[in-house]
Amino acid sequence: MTDSVSPGGDLRDHRVQIENYFAKRVLRMKNFIIWAILIGVLGYGGAKLYMHNKVSDTMDLVVLQMSPFANVEYDGVASTLTGELMVEGVRVRVDGYTDYLTIDSIGIDTPSFLSLISLTDLSSQGPDAMPEYIGFLIEGLRIPADADYYKDFYEFSLAARNVENETSVSAECTGKYGFSPAALSGLGYQDQVMAMSMHLRDEDSSYSIEMDASIADMWDVVASVDLDGNMITEMSKGMAYQPKLRSMHIEYTDQSLNGRVSRYCEQRGLSPADVLRAQIDAFRMVGEMYGIEFDQYIIDPYKEFLLGKSSLIVTAHPTNPVAFSQIDLYAPTDVPALLNLAAVAR
């Protein structure tokens, strides 16, 4: 009798062979993925450890170099896959003072973690190691209003401007030369808590500086300045570097300071009209510091801002790029037209 083979058995065997084949392939793929993840994690962890060690070594060197003048401490170094590198829990006490300046975190921001790694080779690779942008970050810089070093800093700033004898109530309560410890207390501030991010972006024919700075419950400023030329090329000129302005946009937002100043000045005996004049006088002085005499197209929107609008936007769009070093060559009254300055309150 001749043996027969069942067609159904052949199909089952064939199916089993196919299933075994794909099971082995899937197992190999799973092993490959697991190893790839492990290698990636170990590579990221090793790179992170290397970078943190380099930053920690640099910070320790900075601490050592500053030791004759200040006691500097920090909690540690942190980084992210998105490209941030932060030194956290910074505490600084300058010799001769008892109060500390504290910073929650200070660091840099780049497009990615790989950009951070490339920055560690900046000394050897030069401009090629620079990412498309780099930012400098500060969070939670805290200065107590009654800090002993702040009192001396305020008095030093008055001396630098030759206004040590400036005792007018209007200048003191509006902060024309900065707010004194007594004025900060009168305005209701126990601390000045600052934050700032500043990013430099480089392109072929221009580069920009973007900044967002704030003091809690005082003000917030968002600014963008576009400059002519390539950043690396221009900055490599050293002392011959002359930045040229292409455009500027500044938005200043009140976070309660205007109302506090009005109330405090009135408590000091000024009328609402006196307060407004003093604030405008302080604003004019800011322009004078940069060789600019603000015209009514700037002053009138600023007055609206003081009287209740929440934001003041100031822009500059010169017809051709203007070197900052050349502004002093013009009469202060001509600079607003040179820069094509404009302002609006919102």
Q: What is the pLDDT of residue 42?
A: 40
Distance (Å, rounded) from C-alpha 186 to C-alpha 265?
9
Place of tokens 């934050």: 195
Is residue 62 pLDDT above 60, yes or no? no
Q: Which two tokens stand for residue 83?
A: 């490209």
Confidence check: pLDDT of 40 > 50: no
Q: Is pLDDT at 100 greater than 90 in this prediction?
A: yes
Q: Parallel, antiparallel, or unpaired: how do β-strands 244-254 and 70-73 relate?
A: unpaired
Of 288, 297, 300, which Cα lies nearest the Cα of 316? 297
pLDDT per position as a tens digit, 24-36: 554 454 444 443 4
Q: Is residue 85 scored above 50 in pLDDT?
A: yes
Q: Which amino acid is at 63?
A: V
Phi, psi of 147 (to 5 degrees): -60, 140
Helix (H, G, I), strand (E, B) or coil at 213: strand
* End-to-end Cα spacing for the chain: 103
Q: Is 196 exposed, middle or buried (0-12, 13-18, 19+ CB in 10 A)?
A: middle
pLDDT in tens, 164-193: 666 689 999 999 999 999 999 999 999 999
pLDDT > 90: what percent of the chain?
51
Residue 157 pLDDT: 87
